[in-house]
A and B are shown apart, each in its own frame.
Chain A
């Protein structure tokens, strides 16, 4: 080979150098510009984000009484590198009241990177959480003897009263689903699980603060990142004031003790919920602190379902309380007027169909029909409405007109209360029956909806809202348990009036009927009150013993309270629901109970209903 041939090899060598550099630049391009993972890894390497937890907002009742607040709790932290096995294990375990086996297991779990992925010998690791005051003070005195161990302050929720568990709810550790849904949460954070703790989570929780510290490869802190430029102070959570009156709530819970049922009381002029009882209930204090999981499991396994908030999740036949809504519809639609009388000879009998009733004068008009809770009157009303081909060309049109009235009164759909898990109940429409009866049905087929039986289901909240609507003579505010968010606001929808399709004059008729009931009809126990109350009982048939229902409001003019009481298998409305409603209205309107009334409440509390060992 000649020399000039060799000289060309400079091109090969230059080419090799160029190719190497180009490959390296491409590699730089891919890792520096195409992927964000490296930056994230570098940040997680270097930045120790020390979270500063805000204090959670407290919760008060309508009179400013503290219901839920925060109590300091203490976590025991350990830095393994400082611990180094110099510990007097016996003394340590005695101080904290743990066994040596537990100690060894805990220490191994902390060091196990599978169970504790963020482990570093040089940083604080959680050894034990939520130590109570007593253990804390003993531990603090002895702490100098336990190298590597320290105490970190946290807070846990504390409840002033053993009442209102379903409304207040509780906080617990976030689930993976919570974390996936909202990146605000990190594993180990707390979140509202039920009640207003959940529905007002964003107001209550505040904003976590963060201190960004620089950590070297050994986990040692090297100072603040950019002198704290990117640090954030925690923002405390907002305090809530509920519409709830804790005394009323306590009274309601006491009276429903040992019974299954629900009570909802609403302030008609605002829609604020004054009390919301669901029985069986539980002490909210069970679900605080480190024993939450244990008790939560026990409660969720309980056959009586104490975690179920029957006031908004229970869907019951409303029984005769529903007749008020029927009267309103028939009056407004012109099916009846105040003088229309229907016969009732121990019930409604037509074309072989019989719906029973109790003994009362016949025929009768709407006001006495409400007062005596006549089944026959309202069955005739519905029959005439559904059979009126002049007004409604087809039964389906009549049915859907009826449905529209019911929906306008807040039935069949969720009302939109500020609590999680509300159920919508059931108001059938024409399509529902077309499907059930293959198109062949008429007013008689569905007659039992006129008296709140059959397919109709309402939640106790919807019944209470019906009482509220009647108290307001035609409109309601969506019921809500939170009255005020300090430094914030509740949803605007809670300030809007919802008018029903029924005419205001029709409401006056129904109010007269309910007042008449209170004075001498099914609610005559109300006559023992020192203010004019209106009421309507219900005795809802079901597979077992009838449910005892009462819907009431007081005073008749300028009402302050509207409520519904629902006692499962309590028999006649007058057996349980009416006396309970009497006591509650007395308490709320007068602010206290007379000794006689207090005795009545105590007696109601002691009365039991035999449900058998496994009810639903």
Chain B
């Protein structure tokens, strides 16, 4: 008990005030934006509880109280009860699936009198705690498939439950934990493969109907198949440390491509995609042969990557055109710039770009934005809140907000890396990965760069659940970090 008393001043001293400062700055900026976004003409009292801005004050106040309470708890509490908390929230998520209240096609909202809570927002910190607990157990290593699968299971359980609530956007956030996995030893090739798949998808679909000069060659297919060859060569160089083979592959691939291009252009027009498929087949055969003869697993994996890439690309094409619902297809087409559907799916993004673009350097000033004030941008105080920042605070304000977020993430990386225990580090990376994902998707969609996935911008979007959720997520880490120097008994 004597320890308890001298711990309190220790916390204040070892608390990371930089993070708290950034957090408070974001809260203030966020509140200003909610005022701007929810303001209606004729209203003057932005503090009135009947307005969104007034209610946001309440959410901010309660968040600060929550943060304070979290800091007061013993840091070992989270370690000890990690699985319990995770279990409780999984049950809650499961029950939410059967929640009778449907809001905008989603069942993720629990209605308790005047309060509406979204358990998915809170399940993030629970999942992060459970992951930290699992991965900090003695002997856990990402290189053991069993361990890796266990960690993946912890992530995918809430994902499935949240998809069950028809809240796909929030479910995707959990994929951000893979960034933490990468830090903890997951092979970079998995991350790279993920990125490569996205590139195939975007390039392949976007340029599928574009033809190379006037040949029947689809530019999309042609480029994707060429990329498969180049990526494979790159992987040979990185993972098999064989520069000669990599160069040979690149040389043959580009040489044959060039020859067939010239042939198609000047002799007989034909679909070069067939040539590309032949090169890929030859490449896969060659890699398999190398794998068998040298007994190096990396050759086999590279061959697998090439095969997987081609299968993925052709099946994505099939899924997009034959499996997806029309409205989903429209969303993807709008995002890729294939459809200019300004009145339908593209409306939100188009209007939000107008709002941001009209802000100029200094913005129109607090409460002076017309685009957001006059409700041209839908969801403007929740998912599209960044528009208000762009319109009223201009380039300086919106770039400033992005830099604040970057500062927060870099600071969190620094804090995570200084943790003496793996538990704290894993949890820290979970937190920063979640923030990074939210900022990446949310700001990206407002700027028309990423798909429209309805997830909030941390500390900005209106709403108690998300604000409380992010505050808890962040402050648990701050509490863990504050206890880093204490000698445990």
- Give me the interface of A with B, judged by CB distance under 8 Å: 1, 6-7, 9-10, 12-14, 16-18, 20-21, 23-25, 27-29, 31-33, 35, 37-39, 41-43, 45-47, 214-218, 222-223
| Chain B residues in 8 Å Cβ range of A7 | 417
Stretch at the interface among B219-227, B248-256, B442-450, B456-464: B442-450
Assess the B376–A223 pair: CB atoms within 8 A. Answer: no
| Chain B residues in 8 Å Cβ range of A218 | 375
Is B271 part of the contact surface with A, judged by Cβ < 8 Å? no
Assess the B402–A25 pair: CB atoms within 8 A. Answer: yes
* Complex: A217 Cα to B357 Cα, angstroms: 18
Residue of B nearest to A42 (CB): B358
Residue of B nearest to A23 (CB): B449
Assess the B41–A27 pair: CB atoms within 8 A. Answer: no
| Chain A residues in 8 Å Cβ range of B447 | 24, 27-28, 31
Known: A6-B185, A14-B413, A214-B370. A32 touches B361 (CB 8 A): yes
| Chain B residues in 8 Å Cβ range of A16 | 179, 436
Assess the B179–A13 pair: CB atoms within 8 A. Answer: yes
CB distance from A396 to the nearest CB of B (A): 65
CB distance from B231 to the nearest CB of A (A): 18
* Complex: A20 Cα to B405 Cα, angstroms: 11
Residue of A nearest to B402 (CB): A21
Assess the A45–B371 pair: CB atoms within 8 A. Answer: yes
| Chain B residues in 8 Å Cβ range of A47 | 370
- Partner of A46 from the list B371, B409, B416 (CB cut-off 8 Å) is B371
CB distance from A215 to the nearest CB of B (A): 7
* Complex: A32 Cα to B391 Cα, angstroms: 9
Is B360 part of the contact surface with A, judged by Cβ < 8 Å? yes
* Complex: A45 Cα to B391 Cα, angstroms: 14
Known: A28-B399, A31-B447, A32-B357. A9 touches B183 (CB 8 A): yes
Stretch at the interface among B44-52, B70-78, B280-288, B348-356: B348-356
Assess the B406–A21 pair: CB atoms within 8 A. Answer: yes
Residue of B nearest to A32 (CB): B395
Is B398 part of the contact surface with A, judged by Cβ < 8 Å? yes
CB distance from A387 to the nearest CB of B (A): 76
Assess the B358–A41 pair: CB atoms within 8 A. Answer: yes
Known: A6-B185, A10-B417. A42 touches B370 (CB 8 A): yes
| Chain A residues in 8 Å Cβ range of B443 | 24
* Complex: A46 Cα to B182 Cα, angstroms: 47
* Complex: A37 Cα to B374 Cα, angstroms: 19
23 contacts between A and B (CB under 8 A): A6-B183, A6-B184, A9-B182, A10-B416, A12-B182, A17-B413, A17-B436, A25-B402, A27-B449, A31-B357, A31-B447, A33-B361, A35-B357, A38-B358, A41-B354, A42-B355, A42-B371, A45-B351, A45-B354, A46-B370, A47-B370, A217-B374, A217-B375
* Interfacial residues of chain B within 362-416, with CB under 8 A of chain A in the complex: 370-371, 373-376, 390-391, 394-395, 398-399, 402-403, 405-406, 409-410, 413, 416
Known: A13-B413, A33-B361, A214-B370. A28 touches B395 (CB 8 A): yes
| Chain A residues in 8 Å Cβ range of B92 | none
Is B359 part of the contact surface with A, judged by Cβ < 8 Å? yes
| Chain B residues in 8 Å Cβ range of A216 | 374-376
Residue of A nearest to B378 (CB): A217
| Chain B residues in 8 Å Cβ range of A12 | 182, 188
| Chain B residues in 8 Å Cβ range of A222 | 41, 374
* Complex: A31 Cα to B352 Cα, angstroms: 11
A35-B357, A214-B41, A222-B41 known; 20 other A-B pairs, CB under 8 Å? A1-B185, A9-B183, A10-B413, A17-B406, A18-B410, A20-B436, A21-B405, A23-B449, A25-B403, A27-B447, A28-B398, A32-B390, A33-B361, A38-B357, A39-B357, A42-B358, A45-B374, A46-B371, A216-B376, A218-B375
CB distance from A315 to the nearest CB of B (A): 55
Is B300 part of the contact surface with A, judged by Cβ < 8 Å? no
* Complex: A25 Cα to B395 Cα, angstroms: 8
Dominant secondary structure at the B interface? helix
Is B274 part of the contact surface with A, judged by Cβ < 8 Å? no
Assess the B360–A32 pair: CB atoms within 8 A. Answer: yes
- Give me the interface of B with A, judged by CB distance under 8 Å: 41-42, 179, 182-185, 188, 351, 353-361, 370-371, 373-376, 390-391, 394-395, 398-399, 402-403, 405-406, 409-410, 413, 416-417, 429, 432, 436, 439-440, 443-444, 447, 449
Assess the A13–B183 pair: CB atoms within 8 A. Answer: yes
| Chain B residues in 8 Å Cβ range of A43 | 358, 370
- Partner of A20 from the list B356, B359, B360, B439 (CB cut-off 8 Å) is B439
| Chain A residues in 8 Å Cβ range of B416 | 10
| Chain A residues in 8 Å Cβ range of B398 | 28, 32
Assess the B41–A28 pair: CB atoms within 8 A. Answer: no
CB distance from A295 to the nearest CB of B (A): 41
Residue of A nearest to B183 (CB): A9
CB distance from B241 to the nearest CB of A (A): 15
* Complex: A474 Cα to B275 Cα, angstroms: 93
Assess the A38–B41 pair: CB atoms within 8 A. Answer: no
| Chain B residues in 8 Å Cβ range of A31 | 353, 356-357, 447
Assess the B370–A37 pair: CB atoms within 8 A. Answer: no
For B41, B359, B370, B413, which residue has the most chain A Cβ atoms within 10 angstroms?
B370
CB distance from B141 to the nearest CB of A (A): 10
Residue of B nearest to A29 (CB): B395
* Complex: A7 Cα to B185 Cα, angstroms: 9
CB distance from B183 to the nearest CB of A (A): 5
- Partner of B182 from the list A13, A29, A37, A223 (CB cut-off 8 Å) is A13
| Chain B residues in 8 Å Cβ range of A41 | 354, 357-358
Assess the B183–A10 pair: CB atoms within 8 A. Answer: yes
Assess the A14–B410 pair: CB atoms within 8 A. Answer: yes
* Complex: A38 Cα to B359 Cα, angstroms: 9
| Chain B residues in 8 Å Cβ range of A24 | 402, 443-444, 447, 449
Shortest 8 CB-CB contacts between residues of A and residues of B: A38-B357, A42-B358, A46-B370, A31-B357, A216-B374, A39-B358, A21-B406, A32-B395
Assess the B354–A42 pair: CB atoms within 8 A. Answer: yes
Residue of B nearest to A9 (CB): B183
Residue of A nearest to B357 (CB): A38
* Complex: A567 Cα to B454 Cα, angstroms: 83
Assess the B356–A32 pair: CB atoms within 8 A. Answer: yes
Residue of A nearest to B343 (CB): A113
* Complex: A32 Cα to B41 Cα, angstroms: 25
| Chain A residues in 8 Å Cβ range of B413 | 10, 13-14, 17
| Chain A residues in 8 Å Cβ range of B405 | 21
* Complex: A7 Cα to B395 Cα, angstroms: 35
* Complex: A18 Cα to B395 Cα, angstroms: 18
| Chain B residues in 8 Å Cβ range of A33 | 360-361, 395
* Complex: A555 Cα to B277 Cα, angstroms: 103
* Complex: A13 Cα to B417 Cα, angstroms: 12
CB distance from A610 to the nearest CB of B (A): 66
